[in-house]
Structure 1
Amino acid sequence: MFSLKNVLYFQAGLGVLANMLLFCFYIFIIIGHRPKPTDLISCQLTFVHITMFLTAGYIWLSDLFEILNVENDFKCKATFYISRVMRGLSICITCLLSVVQAVTISPSASLLATFKQKLKKYMIYALLCIWSFNISFSINQIFYVGAYTNVSETSQMNVIKYCSLLPMNYVIRGLILTVTSSRDVFLVGIMLITSTYMVIILLRHQRQCKHLHSISQLRASPEERATQIILLLVVFFVVMYWVDFIITTTSFLLWRYEPVILTVQKFVVNAYPTITPLVQISIDRRIITMLKNLQSKCYHMFLKRCFFSSL
């Protein structure tokens, strides 16, 4: 268990650093340049992922509550509520990112192309609705969590050292599971549909380009690279989601959480927000160019300091 906790700390540290770098990059792009429609969405997604590492893994926020000597019941409800909101935002914003990219690369003759001109306006409304929905969606669930009493009760399901799910009847338990699962399955379904659509568009575009250029001269356009990034992230998200869904549903129905299983679930939950920025940083040429320019500037500043110090 000690080694598993160290793995979680390493994963969280790597994820926070990568997401912070990506978040600063998107802020720089949004403020000082002409951002793409997906840049604003990706910026919010990185912010959500940073917050997830502070809450969903129950690592740093719980340590902060311990230092501040916050009451167990409050920190349990606060941690659980924020983590649920961030988890919902992650799947909703990832779905929106997939939809927006599908609209962006759609051919001019398609039905989706009619939304291109109003994409920015619709996207802002969609983000406002997503945040409002998720903030309100998880409020009722905080009534079913509380401080762990550390007594031998089978009606409590301990999820972390100071927090547990309180007793609830089978109707409420089934209702919560059904509503949450329906939302997630619906969003995952949209992601799979838009991903399939984008794959078809990319394959069709490649076949058309082969008639004009040789294979050795073919290079992916910025739109194609962005689409490939989003496709990769969506596929990885869907895989991690179903692993998390199976663990959560099984534990919820059996009303039992094993410590090792809970630790594995934390690792799975944090896998997507850890891999996402690493993939984007390694593939997005704008980020690579910015890092190279920053490295070059730092190198020249270092040479200047060495030159003046030697005089």
Structure 2
Amino acid sequence: MEFEVRLIFKAIGFIILIIIGVPSNVFILAIFIHTKITEKKLLPSNAILTMLALVNLLVIITKGIPQAIHSIGIRNILNDTECKLFSFMYRICRGMTICVTSLLSCNQCVILAPPSKSWLILKQKISPNLPWIMLCLWSINIAIYPSCLIHVRAIGNYTTSKYTLHLEFCNHDFMTFQSYVANGIAIALRDFSFVGSMTLASCYIVFTLHRHGKQVQGMRSSDKNPGKSVEYKASRAVVLLVTIYVALFGLDSCIWIYTLIVSRVSPAISDARVFFGTLYAALSPVVIIKTNKKIKTTLICNNKKEQIHSTDTTTTDSSE
């Protein structure tokens, strides 16, 4: 009975995650790709958000969907090749969510920074070199996970070493203690480096926003200044995204540490860790849609076009 209840909650959780995450990420991709095609340009921050939506979507496809299918009772859904590809893609894209969120916060930090010589160099370098920065982030994450293409196999009747991660539909056997430790160190260095950089950048953004708030006290409200309003609203949105990520990352890390300490871990604990590890892919696009100026402007314009079209249709019908 307890086993069935766990699977019911797991299925509900991942299905909700898929229902929210897939359409919202696809919507963001569609808006920004359309903007790039029609306007021939995309702000660096929106280009970064486009990449974040893409990797979020791939995280849900490679982890959320298989977990949902497994939780409703369908077993052996992936063969060896599919296990390798899904595991490889999921781990790379989940790593990219860390890197891209960190890049987003650092970019916003540079935007808010004073126009000094050193900051000015960064302001001028980020935009033209953004494709190379993205390529570098992809390369870093691809370099960490070659073992997924070699040692990941579908669940089956075969012997595994004690250095094996037993996933619900795949096994990742590192074979040796050295490869197991090396992989863990590489992941830890990447995670804490990028989470640390996004945290520091967000602290600087919060400090800048707080200082600006003090400066405008007794003066005209900053909301009446469109330039400042847009800039600082974007900054608050970035801080919110980073806060969500750091909170989920901290929760994931706490559960992971708990699994290392306890000899036998409840399946519900493992399910919770996988769920929280994937949750950012569904929450972040909702925040982006609610706070991004370009998306909101596009939605308003489309609504106005629909209203005009509806009015024209009504007028034509009346004249007939």
Q: Given the two structures, how large is their TM-score scaled by the length of structure 1?
A: 0.86
Deviations 1:15-47 (A, max 9, x none): 111111111121233333353221111111101
Correspondence for 1:175: 182
8 Å contact from structure 2 (residues 26, 57) kept in 1: yes
Q: Are 1:208 and 2:236 matched, yes or no?
A: no
8 Å contact from structure 1 (residues 158, 257) kept in 2: no
Instruction: Tell me how far 1:235 sits from its aligned partner.
Output: 1.1
3-state SS in 2 of match to 1:210: coil
8 Å contact from structure 2 (residues 161, 173) kept in 1: no
The aligned runs of 1:256-295 (5 Å cut-off) are 258-295=266-303
Aligned counterparts of 1:3 and 1:96: Cα–Cα separation in 2: 34
The aligned runs of 1:51-200 (5 Å cut-off) are 51-59=58-66, 72-109=79-116, 111-150=118-157, 155=162, 157-160=165-168, 162-166=169-173, 168-200=175-207
Q: Does the C-alpha gap of structure 1 residues 154 and 251 become closer, same or farther in structure 2, counting only changes over 3 Å? A: farther
Instruction: Tell me how far 1:306 sits from its aligned partner.
Output: 5.7
Aligned counterparts of 2:223 and 2:29: Cα–Cα separation in 1: 35
Instruction: Tell me how far 1:54 sits from its aligned partner.
Output: 0.2
8 Å contact from structure 2 (residues 18, 60) kept in 1: yes
8 Å contact from structure 1 (residues 157, 256) kept in 2: no
Which amino acid is 1:136 matched to? Answer: A
Q: Does the C-alpha gap of structure 1 residues 221 and 45 become closer, same or farther in structure 2, counting only changes over 3 Å? A: same
% identical equivalent positions: 25
Instruction: Tell me how far 1:6 sits from its aligned partner.
Output: 2.1
8 Å contact from structure 2 (residues 17, 64) kept in 1: no
Length, aligned pairs only = 306
8 Å contact from structure 2 (residues 14, 67) kept in 1: no
Aligned counterparts of 2:224 and 2:208: Cα–Cα separation in 1: 20
Q: Tell me which of 226, 241, 244 is aligned to 1:233.
A: 241
Q: Does the C-alpha gap of structure 1 residues 299 and 214 become closer, same or farther in structure 2, counting only changes over 3 Å? A: closer
Q: Are 1:10 and 2:16 matched, yes or no?
A: yes
Aligned counterparts of 2:37 and 2:192: Cα–Cα separation in 1: 35
3-state SS in 1 of match to 2:129: helix
Q: Are 1:298 and 2:285 matched, yes or no?
A: no
Correspondence for 2:3: none
Aligned counterparts of 2:132 and 2:82: Cα–Cα separation in 1: 32
Aligned counterparts of 1:52 and 1:83: Cα–Cα separation in 2: 5
Instruction: Tell me how far 1:174 sits from its aligned partner.
Output: 2.2
3-state SS in 1 of match to 2:175: coil
Unaligned runs of 5+ in 2: 1-6
Aligned counterparts of 2:305 and 2:263: Cα–Cα separation in 1: 56
Unaligned runs of 5+ in 1: none
Aligned counterparts of 2:78 and 2:196: Cα–Cα separation in 1: 40
Instruction: Tell me how far 1:143 sits from its aligned partner.
Output: 2.6
Aligned counterparts of 2:222 and 2:127: Cα–Cα separation in 1: 35
Q: Does the C-alpha gap of structure 1 residues 216 and 139 become closer, same or farther in structure 2, counting only changes over 3 Å? A: closer
Aligned counterparts of 2:37 and 2:187: Cα–Cα separation in 1: 36
3-state SS in 2 of match to 1:165: strand
8 Å contact from structure 2 (residues 151, 173) kept in 1: yes
8 Å contact from structure 2 (residues 59, 94) kept in 1: yes
Q: Given the two structures, how large is their TM-score scaled by the length of structure 2?
A: 0.83
3-state SS in 1 of match to 2:167: strand
Q: Does the C-alpha gap of structure 1 residues 100 and 256 become closer, same or farther in structure 2, counting only changes over 3 Å? A: farther
Aligned counterparts of 1:125 and 1:239: Cα–Cα separation in 2: 29
Instruction: Tell me how far 1:268 sits from its aligned partner.
Output: 0.7
Deviations 1:81-117 (A, max 9, x none): 0101101111111111111111111111363233212
Deviations 1:188-229 (A, max 9, x none): 111111111111111122222224325896885211111110
Instruction: Tell me how far 1:240 sits from its aligned partner.
Output: 0.7
Q: Are 1:247 and 2:266 matched, yes or no?
A: no
Q: Tell me which of 26, 31, 52 is aligned to 2:32.
A: 26
